Structure 1
Amino acid sequence: MRATEALRVLSELEGAGDLRDESAFIEWESKVLAVLRSTFGANSPHVSRFSSSVSVFPDGMTSGNRIKDRERYRLTAASRGKAEIRASIFILETLHHDSPLDDASIDPELWAHVQGLIADDDWAKVPAAVAIFVEDKARSWAGDPRNSKGEVLVGKGLYTQVLNPSGILRMGGQQSEIEGWMALGSGLAQAIGNVDRHRIQQRSDVRRYAMGVLGLGSLLLTQFRYEHPARVQEAEAQAQAGTLEAERQ
């Protein structure tokens, strides 16, 4: 989700009215989480802090009226949640105005994943973050493929399996195009991931290097979404449903 749209929606949700009713509270919570995940990434601290802040207290009779107690708990949880929304709005406003990049030029989820590093001017950590994130998305969208021994596929092995001519995420119409996309994915894993995931490079052109890696990662994700929209949407929906279920337990 683009920062400008996220700001608009979060502002509306921060101004939500009476949330004592359980169904209204659950709908509000789910909407906020959907925006935060889309904007900052499912594993971002913004999501975890909001989830923790709106955790309604366990059942317990304090006033002698269980319904009134639950309504009071939900109002308190909503108040804490709105504070987290205001903090997220502040961060979005700051990053949106100061960043040299945004989610209009970079894949939105990837941008949400690395924007904190960029805001901190920590460019040396961006390449590894990009390589890990893109590989994780490819694995998830392909349905977590395994090798013949049932082991998780990583790096070149993953991209070779999912992007080959019969791969579930193959891209391109002709043989040469398919091979090209497979080479790009493998190249990200081998040339970038194998280096930057094991050590932080100290180089004078680190920002230019990081932006190049960011562009490559965004290109792959953009093409995945373009050629396999239904599969990506289904995988993301399943992941979000699983996360919500885990949070409820």
Structure 2
Amino acid sequence: MFLIKPFGIIAGSLSFAKYAVAPFYTGSCVLVVATINMLNVRFTMATQVVFMVAKFVGLLIIVIGGIASLVQGNYGSLCSLESAFADTKLGISTVGMALYQCLWSYSGWYNINNVTEEVKRPEVNLPRALMIAVPMVTILYLLVNVSYLVVMTTTEMISSSAVAVTWGNKVLGGWGWVMSVAAALSAFGSLNGSFFSGGRVCYVAAREGHMPDILAMAHMHRRTPSPALIFNTIISLIVLIPGDFQAIVNFFRYSA
């Protein structure tokens, strides 16, 4: 409640701001998501579905673009795919660091565990969601990275602050902005999901007597845990004060 969820929320907020609302105050993104979550559960879920589809479509564009580039074979950086692991060292420490660096990318699955109470037939749908989502994410991310290596050199990938946007500019040309929009939608969807589950953790903790009773209250008509969501918002905005994305992500990984 004080570390993992707030840090995840702000990391997602900063990611969204980088692509979509950089000229504005980043905190406004957090307040928008908080308002959505407090107004209506069904609308929150509908929002999540829409942004999940947008994320999936964005990843498919990258995968299909990489396959097309590979078939055409007209990019000078095709050698990057063949030498992607050149000069790397295999060892416990290096493999551990690689897992650490991509931990957050694969950690979204645990959000559903935090909302099991609100899942219909959790004994069926929870295992089903995990068995479908984790392999799908693994396969998609693998294909996306292959697409990156087909189009970009390793140096370009390392130096780029937004790899998907750099990829889009090289492959899509004038339509490169599509990847910026897709990345922003993806970040917003992740932020919304983290906020939704984070409020439930706080709500149940209060109900079990681990937090003040007021956080276990829910809106009579909207059926949303508004006090818990407001508490999450306050903690998240406090975490936002430093505004250092890299430090927040590293601390989030360490805490997780």
Between structure 1 and structure 2, the one with the greater Rg is 1
* Structure 1 length-normalised TM: 0.28
More helix by share: 2
Q: Tell which has more relative contact order, 1 or 2 (C-alpha 8 A, sep 6+).
A: 2
TM-score calculated relative to the size of structure 2: 0.28
